[in-house]
């Protein structure tokens, strides 16, 4: 199984969705760490109750690069194949992103490339959009701009507020994130398997490749 670490700041409902999905029969990933910049995050307490290793460090009074270095070390010790940001509400330093690039995923509450950043639901309502939604994307240096791996639209209803829309988008996120993460880590494992076979053939028959 692919080893997945999750990074949260708050509620952790996406973390819970990923964790319970990982415990379904046939899951292709397991959760090896839940990390947070907020030692009081409710999601941490849930992870602990579920027997998942946790790590936390308050970001308050810690320089951003020092915090990211500490997070990097905690993640490295857990040897994850992928890191899933799930409601992690802090910007990451370019150095951190570079070290985890290609293995770092995020869930964002809009149909990217629409509404990067904050207040996504209010902005969709203000624009008169027919749908909000959520996206899982690879994290790159530019915020919410990496390759989109999966999306789920959510219809906007008459009378929706940012809160009511956010609540429904959250339900969609809980479906989208585990499915998209599973597809991503499977593709990578397949790619790794193919690479190893090619290496083995090249070693045995150097004249073939």
Q: Which residues are catalytic?
A: 108
User: Is 15 marked within a binding site?
Assistant: no
Q: Is residue 124 a contact residue for ligand GAR (CB under 6 A)?
A: no
User: Is 116 marked within a binding site?
Assistant: no
Q: Is residue 150 a contact residue for ligand GAR (CB under 6 A)?
A: no
The 3-state DSSP class for residue 145 equals: coil
Sign, CA dihedral 56-61-65-70, equals negative
Interaction mask 19-58, ligand GAR, x per CB under 6 A:
----------------------------------------
Q: Is residue 111 a contact residue for ligand GAR (CB under 6 A)?
A: no
Q: Is residue 4 a contact residue for ligand GAR (CB under 6 A)?
A: no
Torsion angle defined by CA atoms of residues 65, 69, 70 and 75, in that order, rounded to the nearest 10 degrees: 140
What letter does residue 112 receive in the DSSP assignment? Answer: T
Q: Near ligand GAR by CB under 6 A, which window of 30-38, 102-110, 148-156, 178-186?
A: 102-110
Q: Is residue 121 a contact residue for ligand GAR (CB under 6 A)?
A: no
Interaction mask 169-188, ligand GAR, x per CB under 6 A:
-x--x---------------
CA-nearest of 192, 189, 91 to 139 is 91
CA-nearest of 22, 19, 74 to 43 is 19
Residue 123 or 189 with smaller CB distance to ligand GAR: 123
- Buried b / exposed e across 1-23, counting CB within 10 Å, b at 16+? ebbbbbbbbbebbbbbbbbebbe
Contact between 66 and 37 under an 8 Å Cβ cutoff? The reply is no
What letter does residue 156 receive in the DSSP assignment? Answer: P
CA-nearest of 172, 132, 176, 121 to 155 is 132
User: Is 64 marked within a binding site?
Assistant: yes
Q: How many residues bind ligand GAR (CB under 6 A)?
A: 14
Q: Is residue 12 a contact residue for ligand GAR (CB under 6 A)?
A: yes
* Interaction site with ligand GAR (CB under 6 A): 8, 10-14, 86-87, 107-109, 134, 170, 173
């Amino acid at each position: 199984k692919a080893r997945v670490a999750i990074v949260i700041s708050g509620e952790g409902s996406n973390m819970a969705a990923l964790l319970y999905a990982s415990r379904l029969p046939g899951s292709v990933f397991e959760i090896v760490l839940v990390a947070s910049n907020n030692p009081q995050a409710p999601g941490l307490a849930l992870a602990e109750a579920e027997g998942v290793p946790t790590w936390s460090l308050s970001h308050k009074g810690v320089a951003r690069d020092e915090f990211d270095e500490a997070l990097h070390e905690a993640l490295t010790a857990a040897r994850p194949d992928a890191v899933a940001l799930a409601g992690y509400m802090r910007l990451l330093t370019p150095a951190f992103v570079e070290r985890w690039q290609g293995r770092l995923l995020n869930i964002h509450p809009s149909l990217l490339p629409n509404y990067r950043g904050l207040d996504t639901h209010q902005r969709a309502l203000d624009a008169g959009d027919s749908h909000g939604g959520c996206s899982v994307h690879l994290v790159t240096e530019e915020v919410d701009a990496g390759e989109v791996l999966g999306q789920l639209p959510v219809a906007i209803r008459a009378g929706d507020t940012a809160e009511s829309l956010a609540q429904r988008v959250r339900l969609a996120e809980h479906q989208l994130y585990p499915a998209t993460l599973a597809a991503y880590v499977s593709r990578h494992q397949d790619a790794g398997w193919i690479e190893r076979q090619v290496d083995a053939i090249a070693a045995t028959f150097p004249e073939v490749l």
